[in-house]
Amino acid sequence: MIKKYVFGNPFPTDAVIAHVDVCNDPLPFFEINGDGDFFTCLSDNEIVYGLGEQIRGINKRGWEYVSWNYDNPHHHEDTRSLYGSHNFIIVSGERLFGAFFDYAGRITFDIGYTNKNQMSVRPEKPDLCVYIIEGADEKDIVRQFRSIIGKSYIPPLWAFGYGQSRWGYKDENDIREVAENYSSADIPLDSIYLDIDYMERYKDFTVDINRFPDLEKLASDMKNNGVHLVPIIDAGVKIEEGYDVYEEGVENGYFCKNADGEDFVGAVWPGRVHFPDFLNPQARNWFGKKYETLTKLGIDGFWNDMNEPAIFYTEDRLEETLRHIHKLSQGNMGINEYFTFTGMVAGLNGNAGDYHKFFHNVNGQTIRHSDVHNLYGMNMTRSAFEALRKIQPNKRTLFFSRSSYIGAHRYGGIWQGDNKSWWSHILQSMQQLPALNMAGFIFIGADTGGFGCDTTEDLMLRWLQYSLFTPLFRNHSADGTRKQELYRFSSVNTMKEMIKIRYALIPYLYSEFLKSALDDEMMFRPLSFDFHCDKEAINVEDQLLLGDQLMIAPVYKQNAKGRYVYLPEEMMLVRMKKYDDYYTEILDKGHHYVHCELDELVFFIRKDKVLPLYAPAKNTEEIDYASVTLVGYPQSSYTLLKDDGICPDPEESLCRITLEN
Ligand code: MIG
């Protein structure tokens, strides 16, 4: 049962696309104070799930989270905001309900931070819709919520293959070298990513012809080997005379404006930029069509970056900062002046004040950016998705975005942003998966190996053993960090086996993905969603259920030769060195220490379930569906969902294959 409550004059976010009647009764579960903040008491045993892409645990209690899309490479415990805003929570314990705070501006979720037994939700302005959902259990509440926000995006099948990326591939030779090295190491590969260096001076929809003289030929040579090139697109458009995207945007009024009605100027990679007004339907339409400049060259996938939008600095703030620093430099810089100086410089990037200084044109209405900030990234991906659907109606295009709001799950996936090569970031990624699934995001994954900082060989191995279960499986790292293509490590053969296991799993993972997308199910769930009454299961923060068949429990601690695992029921442990070299053992319900060497993948098959494994191919195109073997409990069956992996509507080619022992 879903009820909608309206407060003030909310901006339509387009998160919810189904009609829900407005309820005029008082809002249940929460009390509202004079400022329009929402309060509820939490008993000791209640758990709060949700908030999608956020830091900390599966149970969100004990911290304050701020939905304010932010280019934040510090996914640390004291962080409050990351790239997305997913304002959906479920409170479970004595009470059971879901609540979606549909608000496009800054909103704070104080979940037992100020007072450990109280939650307060504080929108910046009292203009929002709140949806309250009650149901039989958490899964039912999620299903109901997903039914009003629309079906999740389904990428092409090749997007489930392994992808290699790095910020630092500068030219065509670098790309060819990566492809050749993977191929000669006999490691399957479906995609290579192009980061900002493929562009001419970081201008969207341009290609630097000195470094990529013939992108069309490169893309086609790659595709002949089953490898798709996936270029990045940034939100800011470079200000440069003669650059068509800039000129057309200015001419048609498609950029965000400042208070004087001039095109707003910020600075990002290209230096000074304008920001396309993605909330303006015409501008959205225009920008989306630009993707065709690359699809015409044979490109069929994109990642949208910097769309919070990230702003390195604005000119007036920079000027003011420089003036102040100049003043400071005149005297003896004492400790206070020194901190003012470093604070001012660090505060240039993503300064909250800058987001109050520009405006959108939404069907003739001028809207201040800060009131709709969290919708910007979603509407960038929407522009691409909607345009490509018209340009290529018979083919899916891969899209994933850094910034998002609920609703963006209809247009693309997301990657979890600039994590670090830290052991704790394996766990952090894993804890976000169920919360993202709750919000409709199922094509998701982290930068495998870690983006910032130097990775290590053992971290990479453990990270692969986790990420090989996530729909988006991409190795990505930052310029200047240790290179982490798999062929660079002495354990390359073990890594290769892990990638092959991924390919053996792809038909299963894709099938479970389709079920989640078509039936509004969660592909990844906390144990407690399936085992409510199990007091132990409720506290497990580092294991997840995957589909109805698997439980994953990755090792995420350095030098650990195994880990403790809690089994909420009898399960079959699978210890795998190669896709066809594994050992299984039935373990009883309860606590176990499970050994797991660096070259082993360990996971669990649930009681009376089977997992189909396929002979690994060198890319998704070559998967042989006849090569299936079943691992798991005898006399069980699995229904595999399969489509052509290409047509936008999976129903057109959908088949269900029953696999039995
Ligand atoms: O300011 O394009 O999150 O994946 O490699 C950094 C360079 C801009 C941030 C993205 C990251 C990407 C990087 N970008």
Give the residue among 435, 433, 431, 400 at the shortest CA–CA distance from 415. 400
State residue 255's pLDDT score. 98
Q: What is the pLDDT of residues 550-608, one digit of tens each?
A: 999 999 999 999 999 999 999 999 999 999 999 999 999 999 999 999 999 999 999 99
The per-residue pLDDT for 505 is 98
pLDDT, residue 86, reads 98
Residue 55 CA: distances (Å) to CA of 77, 374, 416, 499: 7, 17, 11, 28
Res 413 pLDDT > 80: yes
Dihedral sign for Cα 604, 608, 609, 613, please.
positive
- pLDDT of amino acid 638: 98
* Ligand 1 contact via 196 beta carbon (within 6 Å): yes
Ligand 1 neighbourhood includes 417 CB (under 6 angstroms): yes
Instruction: Return mean pLDDT, the chain.
Output: 97
354-379 tens-digit pLDDT: 999 999 999 999 999 999 999 999 99
If you measure from the C-alpha of residue 460 to the centroid of ligand 1, how many angstroms do you get, rounded to a whole number?
20
Residues 202-221: tens digit of each pLDDT: 999 999 999 999 999 999 99
Residue 543: pLDDT above 90? yes
**Which atom of ligand 1 is least distant from the CA of 312?**
1
**How many angstroms separate the alpha carbon of residue 99 from the centre of ligand 1?**
33
Q: What is the pLDDT of residue 14?
A: 98
User: Rounded to an integer, what distance in angstroms lies between the CA atom of residue 263 and that of residue 259?
Assistant: 9
The answer, yes or no, to whether any atom of ligand 1 lies below 6 A from the CB of 512, is no
CA distance 191 to 238: 28
Q: Closest ligand 1 atom to the C-alpha of 451? A: 4
Work out the pLDDT band at 229, boundaries 50, 70, 90.
very high
Q: CA–CA separation, 184 vs 169, rounded Å?
A: 19
Which DSSP state fits 183? H
Pocket test of ligand 1: the residue of 72, 165, 167 to mutate, having most ligand atoms within 8 Å of its CB, is 167
Q: Counting beta carbons within 10 angstroms of the beta carbon of residue 295, is it exposed (0 to 12), middle (13 to 18) or buried (19 or more)?
A: middle
Distance 305 CA to ligand 1 centre (A): 7
Q: How far apart are CA 371 and CA 460, in angstroms?
A: 41
Residue 289 is predicted with a pLDDT of 98
pLDDT in tens, 53-92: 999 999 999 999 999 999 999 999 999 999 999 999 999 9
Give the helix, strand, coil percentages of the chain, each rounded to 5.
Answer: 30, 25, 45
Q: What's the average model confidence in pLDDT over 400-418? A: 98
Q: State yes or no: pLDDT of 330 exceeds 90.
A: no
pLDDT for 128 equals 98
- Give the Å distance between the CA of 269 and the centre of ligand 1: 10
Closest to 258 measured CA to CA, from 409, 180, 153, 366 = 366
Atom from ligand 1 closest to the CA of residue 303: 4
Is 80 exceeded by the pLDDT of residue 661?
no
pLDDT on residue 332: 85
| Residue 319: exposure state from Cβ atoms within 10 A (0-12, 13-18, ≥19) | exposed
Structure tokens at 192: 């290579």
User: How many Cα neighbours within 13 Å face the side chain of 335?
Assistant: 0
Judge if the beta carbon of residue 418 lies within 6 A of ligand 1. Answer: yes
Across residues 259-278, what is the average pLDDT? 97
Question: How far, in Å, is the centroid of ligand 1 from the Cα of 215?
Answer: 21
Instruction: Name the residue with the closest Cα to ligand 1, atom 6.
Output: 306
Which amino acid type is present at position 275? F
Ligand 1 center from residue 477 Cα (angstroms): 9
Question: Is residue 227 within 8 Å of 179, Cβ to Cβ?
Answer: yes
Q: Coil, strand, or helix at residue 269?
A: coil
Percent with pLDDT over 70 in the chain: 100
Confidence of residue 346 (pLDDT cuts 50, 70, 90): very high
With a 6 Å cutoff on the Cβ, whether 234 touches ligand 1 is: no
Q: Determine what percent of the chain is predicted with pLDDT higher than 90.
A: 98
- Tell me how far apart the alpha carbons of residues 37 and 485 are, in angstroms, rounded to a whole number: 48
- Torsion angle of C-alpha atoms 387, 129, 417, 340, degrees rounded to 10: 120
Check if 195 has its Cβ closer than 6 Å to any atom of ligand 1.
Answer: yes
Q: What is the pLDDT of residues 427-459, one digit of tens each?
A: 999 999 999 999 999 999 999 999 999 999 999
Classified as helix, coil or strand, 595 is strand
Q: Which of 180-189, 322-331, 338-347 has the highest mean predicted lDDT (pLDDT)?
A: 180-189
pLDDT for the residue 437? 99
Residue 333 pLDDT > 90: no
Nearest-atom index, ligand 1, CA of 234: 2
User: Cα 485 vs. chain centroid, distance in angstroms?
Assistant: 22
For ligand 1, whether the C-beta of 91 sits within 6 Å is no
Both structure tokens of 585: 């053992």
- For the whole model, what pTM was predicted? 0.98
